[in-house]
Structure formats: C-alpha cells, structure tokens
Structure 1
Amino acid sequence: MFCPYCGHNVGEVVKFCGSCGKHIEFLAFVDNGSIQENISIEDLIQKYFRDGYSYNEILDILALKHKQKISLTTLKCKLRSLSLSRKKHYSAQALIRAAIIEELKGPGQHYGYRSMWQTLRQKHHLSVKRHDVMVMMAELDPSGVQKRSRRKFVRRVYDSPGPNHTWHVDGYDKLKPYGLAISGCIDGYSRKVLWLVCGATNSNPEVIAQHYVQCASEFGVIPVRLRTDCGTENGTMAAMQCALRSSHQDFFAGAASHMYGSSTTNQRIESWWSYFRKQRTQFWMDLFSDMKEMHLFNGSHEHMCLVRFIFMAVLQRDLEECKRKWNTHLIRPVSQSRCPSGKPDVMYYLPHRFGGRDCGLAVGHQELSQFRMSSTPNFCGDPHLQEHFEGLNSGFSSSQTLESCVENYIRLKRLAGL
C-alpha cells in the first residue's frame, strides 16, 4: 500500500504516513482502487471536501458511487461537526508559509498561486484564502512570479568558467550525399572554432581521433571536458580524452572528462552549424545539386571519389576562410547568456578581460605521440581510384578556382568513362 500524498510504501495501513505524516487511515477501506461500502460517511465527506468538491458534487458522488443519499442540510451539519469550512477556521499563517516553503523546494517552484492553493488544500489539508496564497507567493518566490507573468518558457542557460573547459565536437553531414564529410569542434566559452576539416569520412573513429590529437598538439592543451553525441565515431577520441585525464585529481578527471549526449543538447556546435549552412554550405549544396540535375553526378562511389579528388582542396580552403572569419567577428551580447560577448579569438586567448580563466590542461607532444596514426587516410577515399585519377590528371594544372574545379571534374569524368 502506498501513501497517496507522497508515494511512500507504508506496507500495512496505519493512521499516519511515516514519510509525510498525512492522515491515511481511510486507505484501510480501499480495495483494488475502489472504496468499500463499510467506510464511514464522515470519512467520505472529509475526503471529498479536502479534494475540493462542491457541496452538490459531494452529494451526487455519495448517492451514485457509494449509495449514500443525504440532504444538503445533513451534509452541512456533518461538515460543521468535522470543523470543515471554506470560509471559517483558516489555518495559521505560519503553517501556510511553512507548507509553501516546503513546496518551493521541489517541483512546486513552478506552481502558480492557484496550483499552490490547491496543493495546500489537498496535500497539506490547510484552509487558506487564495488571495493570501498569492500574496505569500509574491513574497517567497518573486523571481518565479515574474517569470510566470511573462508567460514564456524559461530555457536553461549555458555556463562556462573559461576557454578550454568544454570542447563540443560533431560531424556535419549535409554534403555527405556528394562524398564530402565535415568534422568540427568549437570551444564552449569563447565559441572559437578549433577545427573544421573536410574529408572522405567523418564516421571513422581513427579520423576523428586524429583531429582531436592535432588540435591538442596545436594549442598545447586538452579540455576539462569533451562533449559529443553518441555516435560510434567518437569512441576512440573519448578514450583518448579519458586516458589523458586519468592522472588528474579534479572532479572531472578520468572517465568524467568525456560526456555523451544527444545531438540536440550539444547546443554550442549544433547552433553553429546553422550559421555555417547559411554562410557557406548552402552554396556548395546548390552547386552539387545543379551538377546532379545536369547528369554530371549520380551519387555513385566513383562519382563521390571524383568529387573529393577535384573539390576537396578548394572546399578545405573555403572552410579555413570561414573559420578565420568566424573567429575574428564580433559576437553580440545576449541577455540570457552567461558567457561573454566579443571576438572568439580574443575571448579564447584573453579570457581575463571577460572575467574568465583559461581552464585548459597542458599536454606535451610526448603524451600525444602515443596516439598518432602511422599513416594518413587516403585523400580520395579509395586508393585505386586515387591512383587512377592522378594518372589521368597528369600533365594538367591543379584546380585552384571553383571554375577550374568544375572544368576538371567534367574532363576527368569523360576521360574515366564515368
């Protein structure tokens, strides 16, 4: 048997709940969810009155559900004998205040004064005016009252003590149908893009791990925490982060230094992808879509390898330009943000100017060398096609501009018979 007020398992029915102290003797008359006939009419009246039923509703429930027909006069007499009244015998203000404070410690902090008034009557068995509850709520929870008055959903605010506290890593798949996969990482505090790399894949754990190692080697630090989604491509990188943090003694040392989560909650990098699409990738998506409509691209493995062979260098140069532009642009202040506003590069390298501190943990090249790969991934994604395309392209200048890339793509496609 469970207490209907707090959910505590009371075992055998007793007079009062051992957890919340509420009167639960009436549970002795409950069998399989229905109230038996031998419960007294006084207990029924008391229960339904405290649940907020009106006089006429109580009379109808007693008559239809419990076969107890009484008059309105009899009901009022029994209520007087039980000292139950909605307009008299109000509870002490100290008891009401204590009950409100108790509710504000839990889910009740989101209640409006009407919900709190109902909770006080049903859960705490207090007789109180709704106006008095409204006044006390304004006094005890002014910030909550102000938020509810705006009638807006209050989102959690991202908070970070400084750069290199949390790195957010994710893959970008909008160009994957054309053979181009992008991986990115952003610092949570400064919003500085740490790496933005285009390759044949962003789902190979070794490739993603090497991006992490190269970034840590470039900046000479590893983050306090690493945040990724639950994709299998992040497993090796997560293991590296935990291994490098295993000798530290802080709260997030060892396995706690990496955090898995859904893509929707990896908000820093996910929100940046929105900007990235508007500023950069929409152009490339339109370009490859036009090539597809002109029957120059059909989505086959060979066509994807040819796209990577021709366009990857130009696309990577464009990504570097996008990263440089973002890291030096001015981020405007946001009212709900706890992170500073300014240029990402300045916030990253000069956090003391914004009230932050560099949280990065120094790491040496010797520590990182044990994680380096002996060979680099094939540029084209297929070593045989890579060799074939290089042979066909020998004697021709490399593609330096977008126009020359398209021309070389058409020429190599014709020479390769694709």
Structure 2
Amino acid sequence: MFQLLCCLLCVADHDVTGIPYPGDDASVPELVQYYHQLCYTSLQICGFLLFVHGTFMSCSMLKRLKRRLNIRRRNNQSPLPTVVRTILALHRNGLSNVGYRYMWRTLNIGFGLCVTQSRARLCLRTIDQQGVLNRSHRVLRRRVYYNRGPNYLIHVDGYDKLKPYGIAIHGAIDGYSRKLLWLIASPSNNNPRYVGYWYLNWIKQRKMLPRVVRSDAGTENVIMRDLQRSLRHNQNDEMSGQNSFLVGRSVANQRIERLWGTLKTSFTQFWRNRFQDFQDTGLLNVSCPVHKECVRFCFLSVIQHQLDMFAENWNSHRIRRQRAEVVTPSGIPNMLYYQPEIFGGRDCSFPLPCNLQTIDNLIEEYIQRTFQSMAVAMNLLTLSSCLLETDEISFPSSHHTMTQSYCFGH
C-alpha cells in the first residue's frame, strides 16, 4: 500500500498554466494583452472588445495601443533551441500525436513562447517525420451537419477510456461553433447529480438557456433532461418543453464523438499507457476500490488541469474550411460562439425564466458538490499528510523524477 501511494503521489510535471482571464472589469490594455497572447489578430480582438466587453475600438486605434504597450510578434521570435527543447519535452509528456497547429498554439499560449506556424511545422517535421507522414495520410469523411448558430444545439456525452482506472470524463460542445462548454474529470460520469450540476453551473455562468440539448439515452442524463425541459416549458417556440431535449444513439452524437477522437490522440492515450504500466508492474489493481481512490486522490487534479489546457487550446484554434459544402462555417470556436453575426449566424439561446437565486436553490437541492466523500479518501488524505510531514515522500518537479520515483517505489 505504501509503494502504491508513493508511486501515485509522484504526478507528472504540470507547471504549465494557461493564460489567466483578467476578468470582465479589466481595463482595455489588459484585455488587449490577453487576446494578443491567445494569438488573435487585431480585427478579431476588436470584435471581442465590441461584442463581449461592449467597448468599441478601431483597428488603427488598437495598433497604436499595441505599439504603446510594446506588443508585437515580428522580430520577436523565441530562440530555436528553446522551441526544440520545449517540443521534445511535450512529446515525452504525451503530446506526441498532435499536428503543428495544435503544437503552435500550445507553445504560444501554454509556454509564453513566440513561434510562427511555419517554424512549428518545420520543427515537427524534423523531430517526428513518421508522425507527420501518418497524420498527412489520414482522410476523414463527414456527414452533412446543419446548425443555425450558437446554443442552437448542445451535444453532451461522457468519455469512459480512463474509467477502468477510476477517472471518468464528461463534456459538452456547441454544435455551431464547436466551442467546448465544459470538460470535467470526476470519479463518475454516471451519477445524474454530477451531470445536472455541470449543466446548471454552465447556464448560471452564461445566464441563458440553449435551444436544444442532445445526449444519449443513459440514466446519467435524467436530471439534466428534466431541468432543461422544465426551464424551457413556458417559452413558446417549436422546440420548447419536451422537444428541448433530444435523445439518440451515442454514435450519432456527431460533434462530441468527433471531439473524443481528438482527445484520445492528444491526451487520453498517454494516461492510459501510464496507468497500464502501473497495472502491469503490480502497483495498481483496478478491481480494488482503495487503489482507484488512490488514483483519484493523486491524479484527478492533474488530469483536470490538462483538460482545461486542452479546452483552452481547442476553443482558440482555427477549424479549417471543409472541402464538401456544409452549412456550418469554419473559423475559431470562440469567435464563432461570441461573434456569430460575422459568419451569418445568430445566437439561438433563450433568457433564463428565473433569477440566479433560483438556479442556486436548484444546485443546492439536486447536486452533490463533494466528489470524494468516501471515508477511504479521507484516510488517504491523512496518510499522505503524515508522509509529507516526515519527508518520506515528496512531490517531483519533473517527469523524469516521476519515473525515478516509480521505479524506486516498485
């Protein structure tokens, strides 16, 4: 048991933090700095200032402000050795199957480097020739999908690839913009109270209701289904009431299922291999509830941190224009979601039929906020605190240290 705890407490290095949002009441220079670090163009930043923050600024005014703040990309590239070392470190930590666009955004947003797409592409082609070749030969065939605008149809589903090891993932994505609305790691995605909480927390944050929510027929969606239908009951449109929640086959839930494929290559496979290594060496028994609680206690926050990074990268990356004629436009999910008028769409959400206090009351009545309520989790917390106080174990500072600690514990 001690060896298992030592191994699981040695989590991967996750010093990388996303760019923090300065807040709705932030000043214009802070907002400009934030959107510039997310790699948006001047015209796109002006759109965010106008549509999201209610501040008008022309492109010429924005460029003058950038010069005054010394914000620039030209002649400000990070050294090539630094870029190569960072890419190699990301490959060792699981980002070995991503394309150059995802790598480019990760380098700029996650590590604060200034790298062009061409440099990221050339570095990947030099470092991982076979991976680039494999990705270039992939051909996707997509069926035609129709959506009028943001919040027209929300796709919700659970992801179970890490569930054998005690960690379940749940997510929601907007069908029009492909913006990730939430991506949560928790002990379970089968508990309807958990799913209901994530849904209520999102509509409280956005202060609106989606037109339709789409999910599979699992029992974990029953509270979310009842809440959506009840809140949309008195809104007189063709999809109000019972029609505001659609149920269908999981394989036909196109938007979210496609996202799970991307999540597998860039995130999940690394953790599956890591937990499988623990299992092969006898340090993890997936049939033992105590071992699963150990995994949750030690790795849940790390996995949630990486999921937040994935969502941030996904929501600010550019979706390419598809070859076949489709109704939904291409572009950046955040722009498609917050500025749909630019792309010929419109926000299809509905106002909340109640105040925020009523939503808070619903959260308190239906939702379990505390995931780790089992006594074994409290025992693990007490045990780990004692071990850390006696310096018998310590948290590693790098992925290499984690591997050494794993071998020592074994």
TM-score (norm 1): 0.58
2:158 and 2:316 mapped to 1: Cα distance?
23
Q: 1:371 aligns with which of 344, 352, 362?
A: 362
Q: Deviations over 1:281-303 (max 9, x none)?
A: 01111111111111111102111
Once the two structures are TM-superposed, the CA of residue 336 in structure 1 deviates from its matched residue by 3.3
- Structure 2 residue aligned with 1:189: 176
1:214 and 1:398 mapped to 2: Cα distance?
32
Residue 311 (str. 1) matches residue 299 (str. 2): yes
1:389 and 1:407 mapped to 2: Cα distance?
23
Mapped contact 1:314–1:401 kept (Cα < 8 A): no
Larger RCO (CA within 8 A; separation ≥ 6): 2
Q: 1:297 aligns with which of 264, 284, 289?
A: 284
Q: Deviations over 1:137-189 (max 9, x none)?
A: xxxxxxxxxxxxxxxxx975211110011110000000000000000000000
Mapped contact 2:189–2:220 kept (Cα < 8 A): yes
Alignment gaps of 5+ in structure 1: 1-153
- Structure 2 residue aligned with 1:212: 199
Once the two structures are TM-superposed, the CA of residue 377 in structure 1 deviates from its matched residue by 4.2
Residue 340 (str. 1) matches residue 312 (str. 2): no
The sequence identity of aligned pairs, in percent, is: 38
Mapped contact 2:216–2:247 kept (Cα < 8 A): yes
Q: 1:361 aligns with which of 347, 350, 361?
A: 350
Q: 1:279 aligns with which of 261, 266, 275?
A: 266
1:401 and 1:206 mapped to 2: Cα distance?
36
2:382 and 2:332 mapped to 1: Cα distance?
46
Residue 260 (str. 1) matches residue 247 (str. 2): yes
2:220 and 2:401 mapped to 1: Cα distance?
34
Whichever residue aligns with residue 337 of structure 1, its letter is V
- Structure 2 residue aligned with 1:326: 314
1:409 and 1:201 mapped to 2: Cα distance?
27
- Structure 1 residue aligned with 2:209: 222
Mapped contact 1:187–1:193 kept (Cα < 8 A): yes
Mapped contact 1:310–1:408 kept (Cα < 8 A): no
Alignment gaps of 5+ in structure 2: 1-140, 389-393
2:261 and 2:236 mapped to 1: Cα distance?
37
Greater shift in the superposed pair: 257-266 or 368-377: 368-377
**2:164 alignment partner, SS class:** helix
1:284 and 1:242 mapped to 2: Cα distance?
37
Distance 1:399 1:162, change over 3 A: farther
Whichever residue aligns with residue 371 of structure 1, its letter is L
1:242 and 1:379 mapped to 2: Cα distance?
26
1:389 and 1:180 mapped to 2: Cα distance?
17
Q: 2:162 aligns with which of 175, 181, 189?
A: 175
Mapped contact 1:221–1:362 kept (Cα < 8 A): yes
Structure 1: which 4+ aligned runs deviate by more than 6 Å? 397-401, 403-411
Once the two structures are TM-superposed, the CA of residue 362 in structure 1 deviates from its matched residue by 2.1
Distance 1:162 1:399, change over 3 A: farther
Distance 1:302 1:407, change over 3 A: farther
Q: Deviations over 1:85-144 (max 9, x none)?
A: xxxxxxxxxxxxxxxxxxxxxxxxxxxxxxxxxxxxxxxxxxxxxxxxxxxxxxxxxxxx
Once the two structures are TM-superposed, the CA of residue 366 in structure 1 deviates from its matched residue by 2.9
Q: Deviations over 1:12-56 (max 9, x none)?
A: xxxxxxxxxxxxxxxxxxxxxxxxxxxxxxxxxxxxxxxxxxxxx
Mapped contact 2:155–2:215 kept (Cα < 8 A): yes
Distance 1:376 1:205, change over 3 A: closer
Mapped contact 2:165–2:295 kept (Cα < 8 A): yes
Residue 231 (str. 1) matches residue 218 (str. 2): yes
1:302 and 1:410 mapped to 2: Cα distance?
21
Once the two structures are TM-superposed, the CA of residue 200 in structure 1 deviates from its matched residue by 0.5
